[in-house]
Structure 1
Amino acid sequence: MSPVLAGILQLLALVIALGLSYRPLGDYMARVYSSPRHLRVEKWIYRVIGANPDTAMRWPAYLRGVLAFSLVSLLFLYALQRLQGILPGSLGFSSIDPDQAFNTAASFVANTNWQSYYGEQAMGHVVQTGGLAVQNFVSAAVGMAVAIALVRGFAHPRLLGRKLGAGTGELGNFWSDLVRGTVRVLLPIAAVAAVLLVACGAIQNFAGIHEVGQFSGGTQQFNGGAVASQEAIKELGTNGGGYFNANSAHPFENPNPLSNLLEIFLILVIPFSLTRTFGRMVGSVRQGYAILATMGFIWLGFTALMMWTEFAHHGPAFQLAGGAMEGKETRFGVGGSSLFAVATTLTSTGAVNSFHSSFTGLGGGITMLGMQLGEIAPGGVGSGLYGMLVIAVIAVFLAGLMVGRTPEYLGKKIGPREIKLAALYILVTPALVLCFTAAAMALPTPGNSMTNSGPHGFSEILYAYTSAANNNGSAFAGLNADTQWFNTTTGLAMLLGRFLPMVFVLALAGSFAARRPVPETAGTLRTAKPLFTGVLTGTLLIVTGLTYFPALALGPLAEGLAS
């Protein structure tokens, strides 16, 4: 079988699996977040944390819950790393340095999982399972909760199954949404996925460090760990990161092509299915299909472009290898690596099964552009949906300007306050990326971390801050990011890139929730039609292009056109 045909068959299998999961999972999540009942284990959790899950919150209270929980998580994970040297199960590793502990804590709390360290040489079992893996669950649940709060802002209260008053601005209860997303959605799916990964050959143990002989002589050290369980939630929660430095290219994490396809499926299944949840909760599944069509069109387009750049690269070495195989695992080939690269950068996952720095110039640019779109096709767990809905508000506003009519979306009028909040959401992440990149290129110390000069060296820096501010976590190889400058600045970029947009999203949700629905008229833009999907896609690409193409022209585009 040719490598191209193998890649196409993998893509078809992935699309079929996602299609079969879309409706049942989307409907299930809609019921989870709309049900007035609480499970017994959930009641125990509420009792422990002292929360009343039936108290409806306006957006300031909801935001305080998000920020308070995330701050406690940040401090706990930082302290756990600083105390690692005296904890059991540390495997002999010492405590993490302050700047790196801050960077890692910020990374995992912000659902980024950027790692400036070698996982198998720095983190013991307690930090990995009690710290990093726990944050993989709860940081993903926070993103889902914020997305559901925005959906409630658009939905009529009678559709939500909860006692939310019309026009009151109430968005539900953060603690209830956090616990339900963790207990009812993430935990059961991750448990099944972990068993499947073990069946594929991923390891799951608490073994110590072993010395293994090598064919060429000498020995190499390996340590075990609860890898399969962490691998499952890192993909399902679009977290990223890795138990080992090689990440999902390591055979202990991702043993074979079947496990590779399973991990790509886990990355995409919740973000795509949340569009069905959105449609059910606002009372029109066709609205969900319109958002899904936009996400699917961009994802398939990026996948096709990536496969083309990596399969069709010129040169006899590339032709003999069946494509640009540099930096890719032979277990997965160009097809499996391209699928994984697009999935991980169009979501906020950041896990990698190949080195993006070794992709062709244009291929590396595609991974970077996927993050710069805002990771909304389909995006991170929760963050993809609320990011796309913010773009939808902008698209409806632009369409309203064309006909001189006050815009409205899902029966809620869009006024000056709403459009200002949407604009702030769009501007904050590019400002972080471009400002930090400019500072790193202008100062001499960060430049010393670059192992490449010219366009590729610039791409390393641009990719790093694009990944951090968009909460992705993947990186171009070749950049030494374990320095005080990069640990501090990428940590700040991750926290600001995660929580500032959430402030604007929740304020937008509260603003829409306070508005009473208005009936449709002959002049209402039909947002469940293919025309709106086209407008939405065009708005997304134009906004991103105007923001990032000048920077991309200095890096991956220049490198790709020169090769």
Structure 2
Amino acid sequence: MPPTAWLQFAMLATVLLATAPPLGRYMAAVYGSDDQAPGDRVFLPVERAVYRMCRVAPDGEQRWTGYTLSVLAFSAVSFVALYGMQRIQGSLPLNPTSMPGVTDHVAFNASISFVTNTNWQSYSGEATMSHLTQMLGLTVQNLVSAAVGMAVMAAFIRGLHRRRASTLGNFWVDLTRTVVRILLPLSFVVAVVLVTQGVIQNLDGHTVVTTLQGAAQSIPGGPVASQVAIKQLGTNGGGFFNVNSAHPFENPTPFSNLVETWAILIIPSALAFTFGHMVRDRRQGRAVFAIMSVILVGMSLAAMLLEQAGNPRLDPLGVTQAATGEQSGGWTEGKEVRFGPAASGLWAAVTTGTSNGSVNAMHDSFTPLGGMVPLVHMLFGEISPGGAGVGLNGMLVMVILAVFVAGLMVGRTPEYLGKKIQATEMKLVMLYLLAMPVTVLGLTAASVLLDSAVASQANSGPHGLTEIMYAYASGANNNGSAFAGLTSATWWYDVTIGLAMLVGRFLLIIPVLALAGSLVRKGAAPETAATFPTHRPLFGGLVIGVVVIVAGLTFVPALALGPVVEQLSL
């Protein structure tokens, strides 16, 4: 890889390591304090006004069932409100280009997508959504859907830490604090930085200009920076423009690309340290962060090196793919020249490891193995470091599974943070682990047998299979990125991918909260010489092995028929 690619990778790692621990400590104080939290003088009056308006009793805690019902009720109301706004947007203000109402199946899919923090888009944003829908509908959901995931994470950690209790906190308080104290302040700062780099922020419609060739071109305007900031920080990913973060109005410079990559990673990474502080054992937080980092670095380097290596079919033709002073080298099809193959590969690995579906290159144009990296990263379960809140939930589920496996291997009672892991917990872990694979493989199999679904593919054969499997993996993992070779704005794909998004969101959140409800009632088992240490490198290696084996046993046959066969054909 060229030195600039290594430099960007090193800068990203350095800034992330410097900022994640203090942010994690701050978020632990936000979620862990009942009496005082950072910024009370500024934030507490706002929160109290919200509680009064919504008639919330902030001192009343909820059992896991009440917490779950609150999550589902809030998400259902959000879906109905967003769907209705899209359908009637033609009659609403802030619509300078007179966008009509969104069609029923596209509105259904988009509403589920943004409410589940997926942000899968089967439409072109600048040609479909009005400014009001973008701001009041989609951007608001970027905030609150991320906050829901982080609230569930806080409840799960309380379930792990509390002893012989019955409640997990108050969903409405966790949701409000997340938005007011974490997401809004960070979004404001990142939006201002992006504006300085050229990301647009206005309420203009389309401006018609004359190109150098004398043709007329329509240039869209809109409130872009405010949406881009929270779509990255909240690991949402849905863009204002159809080509997402490859558009120069969303991501104009290499520096904005670095800032946005940091924004995608900072909250999920910091939450590992939040976990350590909230359970009063920082070693556990550092261990979880290390596990996430090993997987993320491995996948990132794989994507960067594979795309930088180029296409072997071009070598016999005398086409140089080496990096020089005049070119970035590597495989440049479908990539922006201002980023190049390595930065595009890094972005793909980062966004698919964080359930952030934004793209700065077209994944459909990646080399077969280069395109397999983001696909596999999603199939790991989006845990490295995963989406805002939900990624840590998934990693902790994997940790509990690894504890159980370790107990079986060495004959010790499985324990984590002093809590015994028994049959009830393992049944819930299995429900969590099975929901996504069954959805992805089942819907992929149905699609390849349906003629109308196959007709939506831009390619046949192994690459076409990869396009379909990627779409359902993206939906079921609440990622939202697309391989870009599949026409998904059809009844079949809008409905089935919408269902996959619902499964990936709520059939994972419900087992997590039930698991928290089971663990919170348990007392602490005293640590003895037989207690398996869960903060050491040996256990970290075991967790990584469990992640790889679970995904491998489930998806290797399908991957062998898709990207692996395609790579061998080169």
Shorter-chain TM-score bucket reads over 0.9
Q: 1:153-181 CA deviation, whole Å, 9 max, x = no partner?
A: 1113xxxxxxxxx4123101100100011
1:109 aligns with 2:115: yes
Tell me which residue corresponds to 2:254: 257
SS in 1 for 2:321: helix
Tell me which residue corresponds to 1:482: 489
- Return the offset for 1:128: 0.1
Tell me which residue corresponds to 2:16: 18
1:355 aligns with 2:362: yes
Query: How far, CA to CA, are the matches of 1:4 and 1:383 in structure 2?
Result: 35
SS in 1 for 2:138: helix
Tell me which residue corresponds to 1:175: 172
- Return the offset for 1:495: 1.1
Q: Match of 1:45, as an amino acid?
A: V
Tell me which residue corresponds to 1:391: 398
1:433 aligns with 2:440: yes
1:319 aligns with 2:322: yes
Q: What are structure 1's unaligned runs of at least 5 residues?
A: 157-165
Matches within 5 A, 1:7-156: 7-37=5-35, 39-90=44-95, 91-156=97-162
Matches within 5 A, 1:294-333: 294-313=291-310, 314=312, 315=315, 316-319=319-322, 321=327, 322-333=329-340
- Return the offset for 1:229: 0.8
Q: In 2, are the aligned partners of 1:112 and 1:468 still within 8 Å (CA)?
A: yes
Q: Match of 1:488, as an amino acid?
A: V
Q: 1:283-319 CA deviation, whole Å, 9 max, x = no partner?
A: 1100011111110001111111112111122322533
1:221 aligns with 2:218: yes
- Return the offset for 1:53: 1.6
Q: In 2, are the aligned partners of 1:394 and 1:419 still within 8 Å (CA)?
A: yes
Matches within 5 A, 1:496-515: 496-515=503-522
Q: Match of 1:88, as an amino acid?
A: P
Q: Match of 1:267, as an amino acid?
A: I
From 350, 361, 378, give the equivalent of 1:343: 350
- Return the offset for 1:404: 2.0
Q: 1:424-473 CA deviation, whole Å, 9 max, x = no partner?
A: 10110011101111111111111110110111111110000000010000
Q: 1:506-529 CA deviation, whole Å, 9 max, x = no partner?
A: 000110001111111111110011
Q: 1:328-368 CA deviation, whole Å, 9 max, x = no partner?
A: 10011122211111110011100000001101100000010
Q: Match of 1:228, as an amino acid?
A: A
Tell me which residue corresponds to 1:197: 194
Query: How far, CA to CA, are the matches of 1:177 and 1:193 in structure 2?
Result: 23
Q: In 2, are the aligned partners of 1:7 and 1:334 still within 8 Å (CA)?
A: no
SS in 2 for 1:546: helix
Q: In 1, are the aligned partners of 2:301 and 2:346 still within 8 Å (CA)?
A: no
Tell me which residue corresponds to 2:269: 272
Q: What are structure 2's unaligned runs of at least 5 residues?
A: none
- Return the offset for 1:477: 1.4
Tell me which residue corresponds to 1:466: 473
1:288 aligns with 2:285: yes
- Return the offset for 1:49: 1.3
Q: 1:387-424 CA deviation, whole Å, 9 max, x = no partner?
A: 00000000000000012222010000001000010011
Q: Match of 1:89, as an amino acid?
A: L
Aligned alpha-carbon RMSD (Å): 1.0
SS in 1 for 2:207: strand
Q: Match of 2:543, as an amino acid?
A: L
TM-score by length of structure 1 reads 0.97
SS in 2 for 1:318: coil
- Return the offset for 1:478: 1.7
Q: 1:11-41 CA deviation, whole Å, 9 max, x = no partner?
A: 0000010011022100000000012246110
TM-score by length of structure 2 reads 0.96
Query: How far, CA to CA, are the matches of 2:248 and 2:154 in structure 1?
Result: 36
- Return the offset for 1:119: 0.6
Q: In 2, are the aligned partners of 1:51 and 1:175 still within 8 Å (CA)?
A: yes
Q: Match of 1:286, as an amino acid?
A: R
SS in 1 for 2:322: helix
Q: Identity over aligned residues, as a percent?
A: 53
Mean alpha-carbon deviation: is it higher for 458-467 or for 397-406?
397-406
Query: How far, CA to CA, are the matches of 1:128 and 1:304 in structure 2?
Result: 35
Q: In 1, are the aligned partners of 2:305 and 2:342 still within 8 Å (CA)?
A: no
SS in 2 for 1:225: coil
Mean alpha-carbon deviation: is it higher for 207-216 or for 296-305?
207-216
Query: How far, CA to CA, are the matches of 1:494 and 1:27 in structure 2?
Result: 31
- Return the offset for 1:54: 1.3
From 524, 527, 535, give the equivalent of 1:520: 527
- Return the offset for 1:133: 0.1
